[in-house]
Structures are given as structure tokens and as C-alpha cells.
Structure 1
Amino acid sequence: MNKTVLVVDDQIGIRLLLEEVIQQEGYNVELALNGKEALDKVLDNKPDLIMLDYKLPIIDGPTLVKKLENDNIVVPTIIMSGLPEKAEDDVRDLKSVFKTIGKPFQLNDIRQLLKNILE
């Protein structure tokens, strides 16, 4: 069965770049541009992994993860942030967060994370 990755970022360039990399690795991709849209997609069809921007319009990354965990929905999540140290502090207590990565990120790091989490 094909694994699905939900990419949530308000920057179209990052969404499209990650979509391309994830598809090249053989996974399905769903895209969302804010936390509200991401929440709807997760409730509709739970992905195997969420790649989530820390700072988002409507519902930010940490708030989205907390909301899902409060509903007992735990999906491995990678938080992407321009300030990874601050983001890491904010998400330390969230059990879904697998890793926090800084932006800009290396595509090889992304590929390795996908393999580590999804295989």
C-alpha cells in the first residue's frame, strides 16, 4: 500500500518542491496551505506522515498537532521552521513530532527522513 505524506506550508514554492521530492521517492502527496485545511484533510483521510510548517495562517503548526493529539490522532510529524531551536522548544511535549528541521533544508535530509519514518 502506498504511503501518503501531507505537506502543509503557506509558501507555494516549498509545497511544490516537497511534492516533487516525495513523489520521486514513491509516496503519495496531499497539499495544504494552512492549518485549517490540514486539519480537514487529516480528519478526512489520515496520512502516514505530516510535514508541517511551524508558522502558518489560521492554525499554526504546534496548535494543529496539539489539536490532533487531543482527539487521539497521532501522525508522525516533521516540523519545518526558519527558527528550528525555538520551534523545538515549543513542540518538545508533543508525542507526534518526530523531528524539527530548519529551513532552508537539504533535500537529501528530507529523503532520509521519509525513509526513516515511512519504511
Structure 2
Amino acid sequence: MSVKKTMLVIDDQYGIRLFLSKVFAEEGFEVHLARHGRQGIELFNETAPDIVLLDIKIPGMDGIEILKELMMLNSHAKVIMMTSYEDHYDECMELGAADYLQKPFDLEDLKERIYASLSVAELQ
């Protein structure tokens, strides 16, 4: 029996959170959702997710600040940044992001990146 993987989605857009929650729950993940940085950091501490999907453009505490804090809490955290902007790639990768994905993203590409980050060889 395999252990259920946990995912944390931090995105201020309700539709994105709802979509990712539905898709990855069907993939067998336990999905936690946060609409802003503080909530995301609290859930990160409470749930110790296997993977985090993090938007960069979030009102208040932006994704770069959130990434810095997550990496201070766990330098081995697997965080995939999601954004409509290209200009933060180098900074995110230097801060320890596992991957960087532009919106709108292809769902199959996102799944592949998640499983690659989790070191799972095949999509299930």
C-alpha cells in the first residue's frame, strides 16, 4: 500500500485552486489550498507537503517572498513556481525552486514536472 502524496497549492485565483485540487485529488494526492502567503506558510508547516505549486503574483506577500520563507523552513522543499511572467526564472531557481512553469500551462506538462520533482518515473 503506497502512502498518499500531499500537495499544497498557493494561488490567489480561486479557479486555479479549484481546478488543481480536482485534478490532483483524482491523481491520488491529498491537496491543501491557500489563497495567500501567510495561509500557505501555515499549511506548509501543518501538512509538510511533498510538493508545492506556488503562484508568483499574489497580492500582499508575493511568491518570491513565500518561496524564500518556505526554503528557510525546509531547504529540501519541492516547490514548482507558476506564473504568467518570465522575468523571475533565474531568481526562483537560485532560491531553490524545483521547477518554473509559465501560465497558461499544459496539464500533462505540469503532471510530468510534478512527478519528475517527486522522482516518480511514470505518470500513474
Q: When the two structures are superposed, what TM-score results if normalisation uses the length of structure 1?
A: 0.90
Q: What residue in structure 2 maps to residue 88 of structure 1?
A: 89
For the Cα contact (< 8 Å) 1:54–1:62, is it kept in 2?
yes
Q: What residue in structure 2 maps to residue 35 of structure 1?
A: 37
Question: In the comparison of the two structures, how many residue pairs are matched?
Answer: 117
- In structure 2, list runs of 5 or more residues that go unmatched: none
Aligned structure 1 segments of 4 or more residues deviating by more than 4 angstroms: none
Q: For 1:107 and 1:93, how far apart are their aligned partners in 2? A: 25
Q: For 1:81 and 1:106, how far apart are their aligned partners in 2? A: 13
Matched, 1:17 2:27: no
Q: For 1:72 and 1:114, how far apart are their aligned partners in 2? A: 18
Identical pairs, percent: 35
RMSD: 1.4
For the Cα contact (< 8 Å) 1:65–1:94, is it kept in 2?
yes
Matched, 1:100 2:118: no
For the Cα contact (< 8 Å) 2:93–2:99, is it kept in 1?
no
Instruction: Give per-residue Cα distances to partners, 1:51-105, cap 9 Å, x unaligned.
Output: 000111222111111112233453100000001x21203313112x111111111
Q: What residue in structure 2 maps to residue 113 of structure 1?
A: 113
User: In structure 2, the residue corresponding to 1:86 is in which secondary structure?
Assistant: coil
- In structure 1, list runs of 5 or more residues that go unmatched: none
User: In structure 1, the residue corresponding to 2:101 is in which secondary structure?
Assistant: strand
Q: When the two structures are superposed, what TM-score results if normalisation uses the length of structure 2?
A: 0.86
- Which structure would you say has the larger RCO, counting Cα contacts within 8 Å and 6 or more residues apart? 1
For the Cα contact (< 8 Å) 2:52–2:78, is it kept in 1?
yes
